[in-house]
A and B are shown apart, each in its own frame.
Chain A
């Protein structure tokens, strides 16, 4: 029931927002259209505040040491809650970025490079770009970054 109601509510909200955006905008207040967004934020904050306050007022409070433990899937927690990631992973993050950027530019290129009007020049340009990235990889490799220590 809730699932079917939610879209309808959103739809009504959007209608109302559109209506309210239409009105004030004509009066010259461009940013008045954002009143709906502000109202939504206020409603959200109120909802969370009311829910948590009601929860606190209505629940019984009987603490025991077991209850105060961090909850870890029902098993007793092992060790500290503080875990560190090894600093050497940052290199892999950098290398990942190289390939991610590579892919971002390759996708749109791949959709057009065969289209009429592009031709060999486009092909060469992309390989020049990949060549730049390859230099980065070459640098990392020669500096011994790729070997696991």
Chain B
């Protein structure tokens, strides 16, 4: 330390000055020079979720068994708080964990965490989706005797990862965030501990771990060729990469994309999805279909548009083919669902979510084809927002019906309108939005936005494939909607009569149904709330 070794000074005026000088020296050159200053406001959304996860886990150890309900409500409160933490960031100009040495620091090239509008939209999906999932699960945890503390801990951890992912701007943070989303999800799927749950968790685990291994290899190759992990700087690095490393970089890009394709369950990497969704508790399936999928999608968007910019035409074509295959396979399989198969409702929604992932990939593919004007990523963000709301709404009603009809076959929905008009109307509206038919106006607009992105990008053939798929999908969405309003099957009603009145839907579940239905109706009345994302500059 320099302070004790100060030379003794003869004059009375001198010492104070010398001391001040050396103190300022100390302040400038030492304190905090090597420790980054962290913008805590910027990282608040994932941080609140992560800290709450830890708090719930510890609280679970000390809370008596009959008060475990409190943990669930604590989780809901924490997720609401994390959502509120998005409000001060709304200008989208925060960045933290920045590296000063990376070239081009005028923009956020050297930052690992950037809270721009792209990140904020996907954080809204992740945290809002997790909040609705928590509302859906409050009764599930009690009724299915899931371990409370662990369930909420895992849900919050996964949500923290999903909130971190869209804001991360280097490959290491991206992979860590993606794993933070997935690892708790395996356990959530298998938490019911029956045979189906075990199978579901194992399939999910194996395919996801394979994807991670493949992706890590790809990331390693990209790092070797580009010389940096920061996404924007990596694009420049790949541009300047020596010719002999070209194949390495291309292989790395392909492997990384394959890894992400597994995570969003794009065809041909989708085979784990239906069994995983049907084996998991319904709220967890809802969570996977919305939050986990949105996280994977955000990852693809970041890696392709930021890091792999030099290879834009190549991955543009690759994503276009993936999108076409995904929507076609998803819709074809959804068409083949029999109405009397057990757990048919969840399985149909699972295949429908595969098809929807195909639509979501379309604007990303268009981004690879040198899109003029506004960024097509806005279309993906808007579609993802709409899809999150209406898909969670559909899952909420399925969870409510699943309480009285454990088989949860599609036939169990026959005549739902006469028994529970509210739930039936909510499900009908959600299905119409998913199909893209009026009065589900917001679904129509979301589809139009995606179409426009495809056509602007010069992907006419993909727009045609998508149009055909939308028409095909109408069949199974409308068949389900029609079943809701069909007369109830006579023998069952006669046998059970008034005694078979369904028990009251728990308040949180009813709140989740009402919240999603209200959001879908409001968005249909004022779609500009979502569609302004389309034209905004996201990055």
Contacts and interface: CB of A to CB of B under 8 A. Distances in A.
**Binding between chains A and B:** yes
Interface of A: 25, 28, 30, 116-119, 121-122, 132, 135, 138-139, 142-143
B30 interface: yes
B61 A119 contact: no
Nearest to B33: A117
Contact of A118 (B29, B35, B58): B35
Contacts of A121: 32, 35
B58 A138 contact: yes
Nearest to A132: B54
Nearest to B55: A135
A119 B244 contact: no
B152 to A, nearest CB: 14
Contacts of A116: 30
B8 interface: no
B57 A119 contact: no
B61 A117 contact: no
- In which size bucket is the chain B interface? 10 to 19
A143 B33 CA distance: 43
Contacts of B54: 132, 135
B244 A139 contact: no
B252 to A, nearest CB: 15
Nearest to A119: B31
Contact of A135 (B32, B34, B58): B58
A119 B35 contact: yes
Interface in B225-269: 244-245
A142 B61 contact: yes
Interface string B6-32: 000000000000000000000001111
B35 A122 contact: yes
B61 A138 contact: yes
Nearest to B58: A135
Contacts of B61: 138-139, 142-143
A135 B244 contact: no
A10 B58 CA distance: 57
A135 B35 CA distance: 25
A138 B62 CA distance: 11
Residue from A25, A30, A122, A138 having most chain B Cβ neighbours under 10 A: A30
Contacts of B245: 30
Contacts of A138: 58, 61
Contact of A28 (B30, B35, B58, B244): B244
Nearest to B242: A30
Given A135-B54, A138-B61, A117 B244 contact: no
A137 B83 CA distance: 31
Nearest to A28: B244
Top 4 closest pairs, chain A to chain B, by CB: A30-B244, A117-B34, A142-B61, A121-B35
A113 to B, nearest CB: 11
B218 to A, nearest CB: 18
Contacts of A142: 61
A25 B31 CA distance: 48
A30 B242 CA distance: 11
Nearest to A29: B244
15 contacts: A25-B244, A28-B244, A30-B244, A116-B30, A117-B29, A117-B30, A117-B31, A117-B33, A118-B34, A121-B35, A135-B54, A135-B57, A138-B61, A139-B58, A143-B61
Nearest to A115: B34
Contacts of B32: 119, 121
Interface string B24-67: 00000111111100000000000000000010011001000000
Contacts of A28: 244
Interface string B366-386: 000000000000000000000
Contacts of B57: 135, 139
Interface string B315-333: 0000000000000000000
A25 B61 CA distance: 62
A76 to B, nearest CB: 42
Q: Which of B29, B33, B34, B245 has the most CB of A within 10 A?
A: B34
Contacts of B30: 116-117, 119
Nearest to A116: B30
Nearest to A125: B35
A135 B61 CA distance: 11
A121 B245 CA distance: 41
A118 B34 CA distance: 6
A116 B58 CA distance: 36
Contacts of A30: 244-245
A25 B244 CA distance: 9
Contacts of A119: 30-32, 35
A124 B247 CA distance: 45
Given A117-B33, A135-B54, 19 more contacts: A25-B244, A30-B244, A30-B245, A117-B29, A117-B30, A117-B34, A117-B35, A118-B35, A119-B30, A119-B31, A119-B32, A119-B35, A122-B35, A135-B57, A135-B58, A138-B58, A138-B61, A139-B58, A142-B61
A31 B474 CA distance: 52
Contacts of B29: 117
A121 B36 CA distance: 10
A47 to B, nearest CB: 31
A143 B62 CA distance: 11
A138 B31 CA distance: 34
B364 to A, nearest CB: 32
